[in-house]
Structure 1
Amino acid sequence: MTTPTAEITLRRPDDWHLHLRDGEMLKGVIGDTSRHFARAIIMPNLVPPVVTTSDARAYRDRILAALPAGDRFEPLMTLYLTEHTSADDVEEGKKSGLITAVKLYPAGATTNSHGGVRDIEKAMPVLERMAKIGLPLCVHGEVTTPEVDIFDREAVFIDTVLDPLRRRLPELKVTMEHVTTSDGIDYISSAEKNLAGSITTHHLIINRNAILVGGIKPHYYCLPVAKRESHRLALRKAATSGDARFFLGTDSAPHVDPLKECACGCAGIYTSINTMSCLAHVFEEEDSLDRLEAFASLNGPAWYGLAPNEERMTLVRQLEPVAYPAKIETGAGPVTVFDPMFPLHWAVAG
């Protein structure tokens, strides 16, 4: 590893996959995002989900109302794809400038996804319209059939769902969100057009041992679940490569501790508060600090057809570790912060 850089400045980053929840939880976590990120793609898996443009407009209003005073942040809204989604409503949402993407959750794949798509044929009219109007599809890339091992869900999804869909609708722009496997990295890297992938903070840092070795660690449990070390290394190589098809989507997903620390704990890791420190650490380890801006600030806007942010952020490498709280308190209850299991020396200075 090279001699550490004392300071780096980059364009203000964006988060291309974020869970803000709603109500008291939204009020408790939004500041950790708006403090550092200019924009974020907001996940629609609320209860009930955000399925229409009207739902998205109301949710956006609640997000903006919860912002800390003085923060500059733009929520980029998505719709939750169902087998009954209206193609006309989706098109109107895009035309209005409100809707940035539509999200495909295979039914049962993750938190609040029971209303997702079971038969993709029933969603084809919407997908065909999206391909026509240039609206991206964000996918949770896992199958949920019980005979498929949880560690193989992503690879099977690529073979049985995603690749056939892309062959059928080659003009459909697809974001494969929170890629977790070398299979996903290789598939995206082989695509000539209309396919990109977001990578989370935590999947660059943990493998499945973090969840299982020395006792079950619920605060490292997420979906898609962390995989083998070989997959983690493939993710790090892609994220730090400068390849424009890969960009940051934290998938920061807050749950109150009682719902994580129980017999059937929720999937999700809360990383919004310390993501930039974690990323600087990872990119420094990979001798790629000069590519952090591409991953966090440039590749995502280019993919979604937006200009990069003009504001800048400075990260300073300090001698003493940055002091992040172990938990944050929200009106909904305590939320444990992601612990990368090493000290973080990169601090956001501005």
Structure 2
Amino acid sequence: MVDRLVIRRPDDWHLHLRDGAVLAAVAPESARHFARAIVMPNLVPPVLTGADARAYRARIEAALPPASGFTPLMTLYLTEQTDPADVVQAHRDGTVTAVKLYPAGATTNSASGVRDIRKVQPVLDAMAEAGLPLCVHGEVTDPEVDIFDREAVFIETVLDPLRARTPGLRVIMEHITTEDAVAYLRQGDETLAATVTTHHLMIDRNHILAGGIRPQYYCLPVAKRARHRDALVELVTRGHPRAFLGTDSAPHVDPLKLQPCGCAGIFSAPVTMACLAQVFDEAGALDRLEAFTSLNGPAFYGLPPSEETLTLVKDGPHPAPERLETGDGPVTVFDPGREILWRVQE
């Protein structure tokens, strides 16, 4: 029985660090276990230009512990006013690693997102030519579409036509949640990848709704039926080469989560690696954990994997920390809802 595992230091290809007091508290939590992270640009105001990205990166670096070794990889928030020349220049000078597409109204701080996808076609064409990846929040926002169907409808009506119009554009379907997304990824070519979150590998919609409403499990895209969760687990534990970790760790202070119209987001950074070791161990696939967390993402983005290592030890159970204190209030840490036997050896 394996009770100790050494892997290359992982990367997080979808991370929310926020700003201000919350940034100061949560940045060290991701720096503790991860080498790099794709940092989401949905601040208020959003990260729209190369200059915005450089300023935000400086704030992140100021919040990191000394000699953390953590590298924030910056993104731009795509709008219908985005300048293709600025995007390409920010990529060429090393400021940004990707551009993020939010359908307007799809999730937290997405009001500035795209309403008419064809209006950003010049940006997408420039990105395809420059080799700059597009990270996609894959949900439609049509109120006539059920929230549990929004990912599948987005793939059919928005993503597939977008990729057909823009051959060569490298696209990452972020935080996929459905069998539909798994099937689409498997049918795709080398320009298509997907990130999978820790929480979508561990919870389904019953965790949110059965026996009472549990707002700390509310996220977007919302967790789906158990069969969709199982499809995600199968995808990653069987080792699909273009599926990799994007935690979508998304901190909100409890007063913003625990209200009649609470914020969507799950803060999983402190417990992600222990949780993933548990998932892969239960699937008999610990030998594939490193590819999912540390190899597949760098390969798709054209970056070298980390030369540092991280050690996981199975000697639990280990209770998850309940919350992280920030200058703006407490942030509840993801509770996986099951016994976790693994921990990161600090």
Q: 2:343 aligns with which of 337, 343, 347?
A: 347
Q: Give the gaps of 5 or more residues in structure 1.
A: none
Report the equivalent of 1:328.
324
Q: Give the gaps of 5 or more residues in structure 2.
A: none
Measure, in 2, the Cα distance between the counterparts of 1:323 and 1:72.
27
Measure, in 2, the Cα distance between the counterparts of 1:193 and 1:15.
20
Report the equivalent of 2:265.
268
Q: Secondary structure at the match of 2:59?
A: helix
* 2:265 is the counterpart of 1:303: no
Measure, in 2, the Cα distance between the counterparts of 1:70 and 1:167.
44
Measure, in 2, the Cα distance between the counterparts of 1:244 and 1:50.
30
Measure, in 1, the Cα distance between the counterparts of 2:126 and 2:145.
31
Deviation of 1:93 (Å): 0.4
Q: How does 1:180-329 map to 2 (within 5 A)?
A: 180-318=177-315, 320-329=316-325
Return the letter of the residue paired with 2:136. Answer: V
Q: Secondary structure at the match of 2:312?
A: strand
Query: What stretches of structure 1 move > 4 A for 4+ residues in a row?
Result: none
Report the equivalent of 1:40.
37
Deviation of 1:291 (Å): 0.1
Counterpart contact for 2:320–2:335, Cα < 8 Å: no
Measure, in 2, the Cα distance between the counterparts of 1:263 and 1:342.
27
Q: 1:153 aligns with which of 141, 150, 153?
A: 150
Counterpart contact for 2:76–2:96, Cα < 8 Å: yes
Measure, in 1, the Cα distance between the counterparts of 2:10 and 2:304.
12
Q: 2:20 aligns with which of 20, 23, 26?
A: 23
The percentage of aligned residue pairs carrying the same residue is: 64
Aligned pair count? 346
Deviation of 1:193 (Å): 2.4
TM-score norm. by structure 2 comes to 0.99
Deviation of 1:6 (Å): 1.1
Report the equivalent of 1:178.
175
Return the letter of the residue paired with 1:324. Answer: A
Q: Secondary structure at the match of 1:101?
A: strand
Measure, in 1, the Cα distance between the counterparts of 2:260 and 2:252.
15
Q: 2:76 aligns with which of 60, 64, 79?
A: 79
Measure, in 2, the Cα distance between the counterparts of 1:138 and 1:7.
34
Measure, in 2, the Cα distance between the counterparts of 1:156 and 1:298.
30
Deviation of 1:181 (Å): 0.2
Measure, in 2, the Cα distance between the counterparts of 1:279 and 1:105.
27
Deviation of 1:121 (Å): 1.1
